Amino acid sequence: MWKQVEGSSTAQRWSTRAPWVCGLTVVLATVGVRPVSAAQESRGLYQIRAVRVDEGPVLDGVLDEAVWQTAAVIDEFIQQEPAEGAPATERTEVWVLHDERNLYVAMRAFDSLPDGVIATEMRRDSDRLLEEDNFQIILDTFNDSRSAYMFVTSPLGAKLDQQVFEEGEGGRRGISSNINRDWDGVWHVSARRTPNGWTAEIAIPMVTLRFPDAETQDWGINFMRNIRRKNEQVFWAPIPKAYSLTRVSLAGSLIGLRSLSRGRDLRIKPFLVGGGRRVLSSGDADNSVQRDMGLDVKYGVSAGLNLDVTVNTDFAQAEVDDERAKLTRFALFFPEKREFFLENAVQFNVGTTASFDRLADLFFSRRIGLSETGAHVPILGGARLSGKVGRHNLAVMDIQTDEAFGRPGENFLVARYSRDVFARSKVGGIFINKEATGGGHFNRTSAADMTLALHPSLTVNGFVAKTSTPGVSDGQFGGHLRAGWLNRAWNIYGEYTDLQDNFNAEVGFVPRRGIRTSKFHIERNPRPGRFGIRVLEPMVNITYTTDQDNRLLTRRIHQMLGTRLENGAYINIWYNDYFEQLDEPFAVQGDVVIAPGAYRFGEWRFSFSSDPSRRLYHSVSYSPQTFFDGTRTDIDLRLGVRATSQLATEVGYSRNAVDLPAGAFTVDIGSIRLDYAVSPNMTLRALTQYNSSSHQWSTSARFNFIYRPGSDLYIVYDEVRRDVPGLAGFRDRQLILKFTYLLSR
């Protein structure tokens, strides 16, 4: 099975009311024994000798260059799914080389049924790529068993890349994600199908990675292959079923890398933007011309630290948000989609985990450069320094916005520091400052946080935070503590969050304040091995929220049975038992208002998602429920077709039908998404959406041509139309062209 290959006072009052802080202190004080590191065992058993060559291979996917024969072959892979620990049913061969400027990986995937290889996706970073045949590489360049770079390719040469921090926190529902899927590195791949399966040749420039400044060094490395027709996942260094390839502490070793160079480690990317806009409202048309230019610079300050500078920042190519129905009292969360904020975004994360509810993110980048309604606020420029020096992790960002919508410009400073402790743990803190240009209003958040991996399956994390706002003197503290146990059979965790009445993190996402929330989750994952079932996911999750006087506000008991089939299809049934205390009227939609009072209601949900690797895939969910003092029925339908390796489309429809004593209404949301890939470097994505609650049609189309690595041409068309009965129509159209060019030395 094993193979080695050669080659403050207010704070006092608050801590009395929140005794879990004392518990957090005890945990930090009593952990004195370093746990046995599984990373040390895996790194010793699975090793590849780094073979240095003077000239790398030609990337054509053929694998006929003699230079590959200088490296030892890795050819023993172990199953995780379906039969953990068993040898892979199909042979995979991997070779690794490097020169001064690049790391090279070659892979040959044999398949006893070559025509059964599933590959229809060409678009970069598409989720669908993970549901087809693919090959994955993870590189722990700092050899810290925490952070890594991950690269994925397919028989069509499609690419997906991501940064991994804190091992992705396990990669399972209920655990916060520390994976930055939106990172785009410069790397190269050539793949092709063969009579025996498929092959791929990959080159990863050293300038794309950060790593220590040492003449000779060792990295963590692992490989995974997805054999999709069998729904089989195999690894070189085995990973237990509870985890994914991001469990970098279980990776093997790439040893003996030497004389690596990033050159001058300077990348300059100027951009030009031009286009036009036409706004038609009440019969009047307003036409405008847009033309602008700006600059993004990336410089390696040291081996582990990277400086990013942006001037006159533009986000013309950012994707639009998906339409969603708002039927709760609290703000909806929409993810960040702007490139400057996406890279290294995880390094600024401090908050509660995303387990069924998002209670507090202390930093939320959408508060910068976007108004409350989502309109763009001009960003004059900014800088970000991020990276790693030894066991020290540093992330600092400063952004300046311009005046907009009658409000002054604002400066945003975010500074995050953490230190690696023990084998896979860290302690740190964050400071966030928002201040109006010229003085006046400000808002600040400061916090200390920690993540303690006390056992391979046990993780404890949390934070203590305080905000500062003019005119407010007390009730500004918040905190969170979570302990979770995760292995191949169990997922158990408990949480406690306390956010005082005046906890005001203006640059964060905190939908609800003045609360204390407790959660408990228990989930068992049996594998019956019959009836086509791969794994069952029965679970119970209890959430209990009070105000600061411990009066019950919300209670939810979530009971669910998920069933994952051998082919990847998923069946899910759940029932939520709710209690809600309304102290103020709640306008759920327009003039439909729910009166204050205590309410108890329940929600059933039945859903099915088909095998996601099929060319024709679908999902359907039906949710009949009581809703406060009335009823509600939700329906959600999705139908997708991957017609060819270049063309895919997906149609979605959702309906929320609500019937209350105060009135009845229905919200319909429809969407049509079209993706066309001329090649992995030339793609078109179009999305049309309709929302009946706002009577709005929106269309967005984005063409992207990567004409050379790191350099892009974008053509973007956006249109919004509202036809509200009794009011004049509104239409906003714009066509934008954006051109970027990467200069790298």
Write the single-letter amino acid at 291: R
Q: Give a yes or no: residue 114 inside a domain.
A: yes
Q: What's the average model confidence in pLDDT over 238-251?
A: 92
* Number of domains into which the chain is organized: 2
Which pair of structure tokens corresponds to residue 114? Answer: 């070559």
Confidence of residue 43 (pLDDT cuts 50, 70, 90): confident
Q: Answer whether 48's CB lies under 8 Å from 139's CB.
A: no
Q: What's the average model confidence in pLDDT over 280-298?
A: 84
Residue 219 falls in which region: left (phi positive, over 0), alpha (psi -120 to 50) or beta? beta
- Closest C-alpha to 498, from 474, 473, 463: 463
- Using DSSP, state whether 4 is helix, strand or coil: coil
Backbone φ, ψ for residue 701 (5° rounding): -130, 130
- Give 620-637 as a DSSP string: EEEEEEEETTEEEEEEEE
Which of 235, 258, 281 marks a domain boundary? 258
Which of 453, 478, 504 marks a domain boundary? 504
In sequence order, the 6+-apart residues with CB closer than 8 A to the CB of 16 are none
Query: In whole angstroms, what separates CA 176 from the centre of its chain?
Result: 10
Q: Is the pLDDT of residue 8 over 90?
A: no
Strand stretches in 402-469, DSSP E: 410-421, 425-436, 442-455, 458-468
User: What is the residue range of 332's domain?
Assistant: 326-504
Q: Give a yes or no: residue 612 inside a domain.
A: no
Q: For residues 353 and 281, which has the higher predicted lDDT (pLDDT)?
A: 281
User: Against a cut of 0.75, is the pTM above it?
Assistant: yes
Q: Is the pLDDT of residue 88 over 90?
A: yes
d(CA 214, CA 143): 13
Q: Give a yes or no: residue 158 inside a domain.
A: yes
Write the single-letter amino acid at 683: T
Q: Looking at the structure, do residues 252 and 176 belong to the same domain, yes or no?
A: yes
Q: For residues 125 and 629, which has the higher predicted lDDT (pLDDT)?
A: 629
Write the single-letter amino acid at 101: R
Identify the pLDDT of residue 724: 63
Looking at the DSSP bridge assignments, the partners of residue 731 are: 280, 721
Burial of 136 (0-12, 13-18, 19+ CB in 10 A): buried
Identify the pLDDT of residue 342: 72
Q: Tokens 């003085």 sit at which residue? A: 439
Q: Looking at the structure, do residues 343 and 197 belong to the same domain, yes or no?
A: no
- Give 342-368 as a DSSP string: HTTGGGG--B---SSS---BS--GGGS
Identify the pLDDT of residue 695: 87
Q: What's the average model confidence in pLDDT over 446-451?
A: 94
Identify the pLDDT of residue 728: 57
Stretch among 360-364, 630-634, 666-670, 701-705 having the lowest mean pLDDT: 360-364
Taking the alpha carbons of 678, 679, 684, 687 in that order, is the dihedral positive or negative?
Answer: positive
d(CA 429, CA 431): 7
Which of 224, 258, 292 marks a domain boundary? 258
- Give 92-138 as a DSSP string: EEEEEEE-SSEEEEEEEEE-SSGGG------STT-GGGGGSSEEEEE
Task: Give the length of the chain.
Answer: 745
Q: Give a yes or no: residue 572 inside a domain.
A: no
Identify the pLDDT of residue 334: 67
Confidence of residue 177 (pLDDT cuts 50, 70, 90): low
Q: For residues 85 and 346, which has the higher predicted lDDT (pLDDT)?
A: 85
Q: Give a yes or no: residue 564 inside a domain.
A: no
Which pair of structure tokens corresponds to residue 308? Answer: 């990013």
Which pair of structure tokens corresponds to residue 171? Answer: 């990669």
Q: Looking at the structure, do residues 227 and 350 belong to the same domain, yes or no?
A: no
Taking the alpha carbons of 338, 341, 347, 353 in that order, is the dihedral positive or negative?
Answer: negative
* Percent of the residues in the chain that have a pLDDT greater than 90, as a whole number: 62
Identify the pLDDT of residue 40: 59
The string of pLDDT tens digits covering residues 181-222 is: 878 888 999 999 999 999 999 999 999 998 988 899 999 999
Identify the pLDDT of residue 316: 67
- Closest C-alpha to 252, from 225, 218, 226, 227: 218
Identify the pLDDT of residue 27: 41
Identify the pLDDT of residue 439: 77
Q: Give a yes or no: residue 529 inside a domain.
A: no
d(CA 207, CA 204): 8
Identify the pLDDT of residue 168: 79
Q: Is the pLDDT of residue 59 over 90?
A: yes
Write the single-letter amino acid at 534: R
Burial of 739 (0-12, 13-18, 19+ CB in 10 A): middle
Q: Looking at the structure, do residues 219 and 332 belong to the same domain, yes or no?
A: no
SS3 letters across 204-246 = EEHHHCCCCCCCEEEEEEEEEEEEHHHCEEEECCCCCCCCCCC
The string of pLDDT tens digits covering residues 502-561 is: 999 999 989 899 999 999 999 999 999 889 999 999 999 999 999 999 999 999 999 999
Q: Give a yes or no: residue 410 inside a domain.
A: yes
Confidence of residue 379 (pLDDT cuts 50, 70, 90): confident
Confidence of residue 15 (pLDDT cuts 50, 70, 90): very low
Confidence of residue 317 (pLDDT cuts 50, 70, 90): low
Write the single-letter amino acid at 89: T
Identify the pLDDT of residue 10: 39
Q: Give a yes or no: residue 44 inside a domain.
A: yes
Identify the pLDDT of residue 126: 86
Identify the pLDDT of residue 649: 94
CATH of residue 190: 2.60.40.1190
Confidence of residue 157 (pLDDT cuts 50, 70, 90): very high
Identify the pLDDT of residue 165: 86
Q: Answer whether 323's CB lies under 8 Å from 315's CB.
A: no
Q: Answer whether 310's CB lies under 8 Å from 294's CB.
A: yes
Per-chain mean pLDDT for the chain = 87
d(CA 672, CA 125): 20
Q: Answer whether 495's CB lies under 8 Å from 517's CB.
A: yes
